[in-house]
C-alpha cells in the first residue's frame, strides 16, 4: 500500500506528520483487506483550489475540508491507484482552531475520512453514517488520537468560551457538524435536542436561542427584515458633491445605493471610504460613477440564510431588494441578518430614543415608525390591530387620509388629536398627539 502526498506551492508538513498519514492509510487498508499494491494520491491545497474542485465536481461553490475522488476507470488495472483525496490546509487549520483540536490530529482524521469514502463508505443515511463514524474513531485510537466526535473532549474550551459570541457560535457550529445531530428528521427534534443540551449544561440558554433563530432564518425572507424603500438613504447620480458629502456625514452610513435617472435603476454602491480620500485632499470634482461598486440585487423573496452565505462568499455587506415587478422594495445589510440571530446590534450612530414621548400633560410626540400595536396599546385604544391595514403609525395615518398628508394635517382617532409635524414628499416622520 502507498500514499502519495503532494503539495500546492506554499504548503508543507513535517516528516512526523507525513509518516502518521502513511500509517493511518496502511491501518485502514489492512482492516478493510484492501490489496497491498493499492495506492491513493493525497494533495494538500489551499481554500481557493479546493473551492474550485468543489464547484467543478460537486456543484458547490464553497470551500470545504476534504474531497474524495474514486478512480473507477480502466487505469486502475495498470496503476493500482484507487482514488484521489484533496485536503484544504487552510480550512483544516481554521477548523482545528475553532474546535480546539490539534492540527495534526485533525488532518489525520480528514485523511481517514477521505480514505473511507474511497473504499465505499458514506454518511448519506444514518446507519451508514454510524458505521463510518465508528470506523474512524476506532482507527484513530490506534494512533492515540481522541474521538473527534466526542463532545467531552472540548469541555474545557466550551467552559471558557461559552459566554462570548464567538464561543457560542463555535459550540453551535461544532454540534451542527456532528453527524448524529444532522440526521434529525424535523425542526422539533432539533429544538428538543437543544433543550436537552441546555439541561445537560452542554450549551447555555443564549446558545440555544441563537441556534433556534438560525433554524428559523432559513424560513425568513428578505422582505421581512429589509429597510423599506422610503427609509433608504440613497444618492442620485446628478447630485452635487456638497450634497452627497452632507448626506454621508448626516447619516453616518458606510454604503449608499446610487440611483440613476430611470425609476428604480440601481447604478451601483458608493462606499464612504472610497470618497473620503478625495474629500480630505480637497478634490470635489470627482466622478461618482467611476467610484461605484457592483450592486447586489436580490428578490425580496430570497431567504435570509442564503443571502448571508452570499455576503460571506462575496465579502459584501449590502443588497438591494426588488419585488416581483422589478421595483426597489428596500435594502438589507449583513447587520440586519445578524440581528435576527443575536438581537439588536448598536453602534456609535445608534441613538436610544423613545418612539412615544410625553411632552406635557396629555401631549405626546411620536415617531411615525412606531408599530401600530404599540401605539394602540400605549393609548389604550379600542382599535383591533388585526383590522388595521398597516404595520406602523405612519402607515395607519396615510390609510386614514387616503393620501400622503402634509405638515399640519390633522386626524381624530377616538380621544386623540393627531397632527403631522414632520414629513416630506415620501413619508411621515413625526406626529404630535393630544388627548381630548
pLDDT in tens, 356-370: 888 888 999 998 888
One domain, residues 126 and 156 = no
Q: State how far Cα 82 lies from the chain centre.
A: 38
Q: Classify 311 as helix, strand or coil.
A: helix
Residues 138 and 29 in one domain: yes
215 vs 316: which has the higher pLDDT: 316
User: Of 102, 124, 149, which residue constitutes the final position of a domain?
Assistant: 149
pLDDT tens per residue across span 338-394: 887 776 555 544 444 568 888 888 999 998 888 888 899 999 999 887 788 788 898
Cβ contact 98:80 at 8 Å: no
Pick the last residue of a domain from 163, 183, 217: 217
Range of the domain at 15: 2-149
Residue-averaged pLDDT of the chain: 81
Determine what percent of the chain is predicted with pLDDT higher than 70.
Answer: 84
CA distances from 279 to 241, 259, 282, 395 (A): 10, 21, 5, 39
User: Is the model's pLDDT at 113 over the cut of 90?
Assistant: yes
Question: Could you give phi then psi for residue 34, rounded to 5 degrees?
Answer: -80, 145
Q: Is the pTM of this model over 0.85?
A: no
pLDDT classification of 180: cutoffs 50, 70, 90: very low
- Could you give the number of structural domains in the chain? 4
Shared domain for 162 and 132, answered yes or no, is no
Residue 377 lies in a domain: yes
Residue 198 lies in a domain: yes
Answer yes or no: do 228 and 317 share one domain: yes
| Sequential DSSP letters for 227-274 | EEGGG---EETTS-HHHHHHHHHHH--SEEEEE-SSTT-EEEEEEHHH
365 occurs within a structural domain: yes
Could you tell me if 197 and 234 lie in one domain?
A: no
CA distance linking residue 165 with residue 347, whole number of Å: 16
| β strands within 135-228, DSSP E | 227-228
Same structural domain for residues 145 and 25? yes
pLDDT at position 174: 42
Q: How confident is the model at residue 151 (pLDDT cuts 50, 70, 90)?
A: very low
* Domain CATH for 402: 3.30.465.10
The answer to whether residue 347 is domain-embedded is no
Amino acid at each position: 500500500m502507498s500514499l502519495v502526498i503532494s503539495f500546492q506551492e506554499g504548503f508543507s508538513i513535517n516528516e512526523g506528520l507525513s509518516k502518521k498519514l502513511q500509517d493511518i492509510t496502511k491501518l485502514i487498508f489492512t482492516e478493510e483487506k484492501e490489496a497491498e499494491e493499492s495506492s491513493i494520491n493525497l494533495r494538500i491545497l489551499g481554500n481557493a483550489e479546493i473551492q474550485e474542485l468543489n464547484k467543478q465536481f460537486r456543484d458547490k461553490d464553497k470551500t470545504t475540508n476534504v474531497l474524495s475522488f474514486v478512480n473507477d476507470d480502466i487505469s486502475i488495472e495498470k496503476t493500482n491507484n484507487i482514488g484521489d483525496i484533496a485536503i484544504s490546509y487552510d480550512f483544516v487549520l481554521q477548523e482545528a482552531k475553532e474546535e480546539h483540536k490539534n492540527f495534526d490530529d485533525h488532518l489525520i482524521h480528514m485523511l481517514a475520512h477521505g480514505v473511507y469514502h474511497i473504499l465505499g463508505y458514506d454518511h448519506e443515511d444514518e446507519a451508514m453514517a454510524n458505521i463510518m463514524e465508528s470506523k474512524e474513531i476506532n482507527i484513530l485510537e490506534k494512533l492515540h488520537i481522541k474521538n473527534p466526535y466526542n463532545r467531552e473532549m472540548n469541555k474545557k474550551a466550551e467552559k471558557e468560551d461559552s459566554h462570548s459570541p464567538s464561543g457560542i457560535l463555535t459550540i453551535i457550529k461544532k454540534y451542527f457538524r456532528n453527524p448524529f445531530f444532522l440526521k434529525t428528521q424535523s425542526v422539533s427534534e432539533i429544538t428538543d435536542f437543544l433543550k436537552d443540551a441546555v439541561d445537560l449544561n452542554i450549551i447555555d440558554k443564549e446558545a440555544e436561542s441563537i441556534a433556534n433563530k438560525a433554524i428559523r432564518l432559513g424560513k425568513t425572507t428578505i422582505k421581512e427584515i429589509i429597510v423599506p424603500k422610503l427609509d433608504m438613504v440613497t444618492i442620485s447620480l446628478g447630485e452635487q458633491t456638497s450634497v452627497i458629502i452632507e448626506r454621508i456625514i448626516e447619516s453616518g452610513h458606510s454604503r449608499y445605493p446610487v440611483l440613476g435617472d430611470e425609476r428604480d435603476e440601481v447604478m451601483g454602491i458608493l462606499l464612504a471610504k472610497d470618497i473620503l480620500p478625495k474629500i480630505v485632499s480637497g478634490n470635489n470634482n470627482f466622478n461618482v460613477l467611476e467610484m461605484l461598486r457592483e450592486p447586489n440585487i436580490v428578490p425580496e423573496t430570497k431567504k435570509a440564510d442564503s443571502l448571508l452565505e452570499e455576503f460571506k462568499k462575496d465579502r459584501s455587506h449590502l443588497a438591494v431588494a426588488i419585488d416581483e415587478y422589478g421595483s426597489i422594495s428596500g435594502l438589507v445589510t449583513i447587520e440586519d441578518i445578524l440581528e435576527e440571530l443575536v438581537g439588536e446590534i448598536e453602534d456609535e450612530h445608534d441613538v436610544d430614543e423613545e418612539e412615544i414621548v410625553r411632552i406635557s400633560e396629555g401631549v405626546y410626540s411620536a415617531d411615525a415608525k412606531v408599530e401600530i400595536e404599540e401605539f394602540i396599546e400605549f393609548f389604550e385604544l379600542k382599535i383591533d390591530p388585526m383590522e388595521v391595514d398597516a404595520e406602523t403609525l405612519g402607515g395607519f395615518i396615510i390609510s386614514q387620509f387616503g393620501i400622503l398628508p402634509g405638515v399640519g394635517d390633522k386626524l381624530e382617532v377616538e380621544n386623540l388629536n393627531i397632527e403631522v409635524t414632520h414629513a416630506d414628499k415620501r413619508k411621515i416622520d413625526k406626529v404630535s398627539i393630544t388627548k381630548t
